[in-house]
Amino acid sequence: KKIRKYKSFTLKQAGWKLLKDNVIEINKQKYKYFKSRDIEGIVKTITIKRDTLGDIYLYFVCETNENKVLARTGKSVGYDFGLKQFLTASDNEDIKAPLFFKQNSNDIKKANRILSRKKRGSNHRRLAKIALARLHKKIANQRKDFQFKLANVICKKYVLICIEDLNIKGMQKRWGRKISDYGFAEFIKILEYKARKVGSVVQKIDRYYPSSQICHVCGTKNPETKNLAVREWICEKCKTSHDRDRNAAINIWKVGASTFFGEI
């Protein structure tokens, strides 16, 4: 089919037509598609993309008359992104992350071994590459599904969500694959998108704010916590015992809330 010759192209007002029963007509050729969600508003453009597996996706850009959602009254929370768990919450409602890449690591290793044994240029090697690519796509879909569902729960529960403005590239250089497996950057985008839909606010604090070093009770700074190996510490001034990530989450919540209400 003609559509399979291209990796990506955009159609504006002409050259396509939406028909009944999830059928689209492009250049007089009809295609059946699966609709993941209802199309809202007036379709302005359609972008058609084909991935490395040959799967084709339709992206509809629509003009809608959405009313601005007013901020609700409700609870607020601060989240610290961590390596031991996905989100440590200021209110103890922590979120563990299923490490999908790690869960599927044995299947990935097996698929890579199979691929390495295939003769270059052969059809068997082409099929092995497709099998490996489908496995990576499965992992990406699992991660995205988890993140969308989690963002929905958080945005419905909290009106104000305080997080750090993370240096994702720096974290990836330091911790590598685990950061990619968590997908922090993608989750933040999804969280902000869902927040706008329901009227919640995602408040970011400065990435250089030492949230894990400051006692959330008395404000005393402990320079020893610059060492990431220090997971628990006791404040010299007020003698409060701190868990590093929990203390950081509470500080993020305090600073984020004060910044937000100061902007109103």
Which residues carry out catalysis?
80, 164, 245
- Residue 42's alpha-carbon distances to 31, 102, 133, 197, 204, in angstroms, are 20, 42, 35, 19, 33
Two tokens at 28?
A: 């007089």
Helix 123-157 with 184-198: angle, nearest 10 deg: 40
Query: What single string gives the DSSP state of each residue in 130-181?
Result: HHHHHHHHHHHHHHHHHHHHHHHHHHHHEEEEEEE---HHHHHHHHTHHHHH
Structural element, H or E, at residue 255: helix 244-263
Cα dihedral 154, 188, 168, 138 in deg (nearest 10): 90
Residue type, 63: E
Phi first, then psi: give them for residue 11, nearest 5 degrees. Answer: -110, 135
Tokens of 125: 């090697």
Report the amino acid identity of residue 86.
F
Q: Which residues, listed in sequence order, are joined to residue 76 by a DSSP beta bridge?
A: 160
- Closest by CA to 168, choosing from 195, 197, 196, 204, is 204
Q: Tell the burial category of 224 from Cβ atoms under 10 Å away from its Cβ (0-12, 13-18, 19+).
A: exposed
- Reading the block at residue 74, the tokens are 């409700």
